[in-house]
């Protein structure tokens, strides 16, 4: 008898609005499979709705598929996070996939702050993120990738990751990045790639254009040493809005997360006009 592999296929759809101009409300919550949220929280007050996305299996194997769709309307401000790392396991010659689609209406604000993805040996992953913004929307988000287990002397010797990220302003591409990373590929060791670092991250921030002086001062704070490196790129758009990208490489995921959190705390008042507030789950 041939064993049949069971796949985890899950979908989650969330919608937020601010119907009374004071409180952001989670107005729609629809899920299928092991992907859901619990109670909406308001640690910053009624204006910002905090939601943690839960994936009880906490891991992805070959054939698994997660789909997340998020929509913000009516000047809503939502902060979304995850309680822990997403683990990508041995794929058995099949791909595991995660698709995230975010729609932001005009004058909405979003913090997209998932914890890291860890890719173990022989993981084959497809990770896609699309952010659709209308003029006047503002958002800050990040993606953190760790290649292999930190308890191994060597790390991630076999596998592949297909990454696709798109940020569209009024359905016109503003930033598109797509590529495939192979465990044995040259990109891992290239100075123009990962330079041998096991952890990489990208923070994107779209909102009011920052002054050149502020960008220069921000660039001066970027670390560049044997354990942590970062650089910032400013991409002006139109109507006083722009996109800022920060690339990070690190030896340890905790150092990368700590740096991103500090950067988010700095950028949030400038981009989202909201004071940075340290999340309790970052301390657990």
In a domain, 185, yes or no: yes
Domain count, the chain: 1
Render each residue's pLDDT in the chain as its tens digit; 284 residues. 334 456 788 999 999 999 988 999 999 999 999 899 989 999 999 999 999 999 988 789 999 999 999 999 989 999 999 999 999 999 888 999 999 999 999 999 999 999 999 999 999 999 999 999 999 999 999 999 999 886 666 678 999 999 999 999 999 999 999 999 999 999 998 988 999 999 999 999 999 999 889 999 999 999 999 999 999 999 877 788 999 999 999 999 999 999 999 999 999 999 999 998 889 888 87
In a domain, 8, yes or no: no
In a domain, 158, yes or no: yes
In a domain, 4, yes or no: no
Q: pTM for the full model?
A: 0.94
In a domain, 273, yes or no: yes
In a domain, 1, yes or no: no
In a domain, 6, yes or no: no
Q: How far apart are CA 121 and CA 157, in angstroms?
A: 6
User: By the 8 A CB rule, do 207 and 268 touch?
Assistant: no
Strands 117-119 and 159-169: unpaired
CA angle 40, 46, 47 (to 5 degrees): 105
* Long-range own/partner contacts, residues 223-228 (CB < 8 A, 24 or more apart): 223/259, 226/251, 227/251, 227/252, 227/255, 228/255, 228/256, 228/259
In a domain, 275, yes or no: yes
Domain enclosing residue 269, as ranges = 17-283
């Amino acid at each position: 008898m041939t064993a049949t592999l069971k796949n985890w296929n899950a979908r989650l759809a969330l919608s937020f609005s601010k119907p009374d101009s004071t409180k952001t409300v989670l107005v729609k919550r629809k899920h299928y499979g092991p992907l859901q949220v619990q109670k909406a929280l308001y640690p910053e007050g009624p204006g910002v709705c905090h939601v943690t996305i839960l994936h009880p299996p906490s891991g992805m194997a070959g054939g698994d598929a997660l789909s997340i769709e998020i929509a913000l309307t009516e000047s809503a401000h939502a902060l979304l996070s995850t309680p822990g790392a997403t683990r990508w396991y041995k794929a058995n010659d099949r791909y595991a996939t995660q698709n995230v689609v975010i729609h932001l209406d005009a004058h909405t604000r979003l913090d997209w702050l998932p914890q890291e993805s860890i890719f173990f040996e022989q993981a084959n992953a497809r990770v896609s993120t699309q952010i659709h913004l209308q003029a006047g929307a503002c958002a800050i988000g990040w993606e953190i990738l760790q290649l292999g287990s930190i308890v191994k002397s060597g790390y991630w010797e076999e596998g592949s990751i297909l990454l696709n990220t798109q940020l569209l302003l009024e359905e016109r591409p503003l930033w598109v990045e797509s590529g495939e990373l192979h465990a044995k590929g040259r990109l891992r060791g290239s100075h123009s790639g990962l330079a041998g670092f096991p952890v990489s991250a990208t923070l994107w921030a779209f909102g009011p254009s920052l002054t050149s002086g502020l960008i220069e001062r921000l660039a001066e704070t970027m670390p560049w040493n044997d354990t942590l490196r970062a650089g910032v790129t400013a991409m002006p758009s139109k109507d006083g809005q722009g996109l800022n990208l920060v690339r990070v490489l690190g030896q340890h995921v905790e150092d990368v997360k700590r740096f991103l959190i500090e950067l988010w705390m700095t950028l949030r008042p400038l981009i989202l006009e909201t004071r940075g507030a340290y999340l309790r789950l970052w301390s657990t």
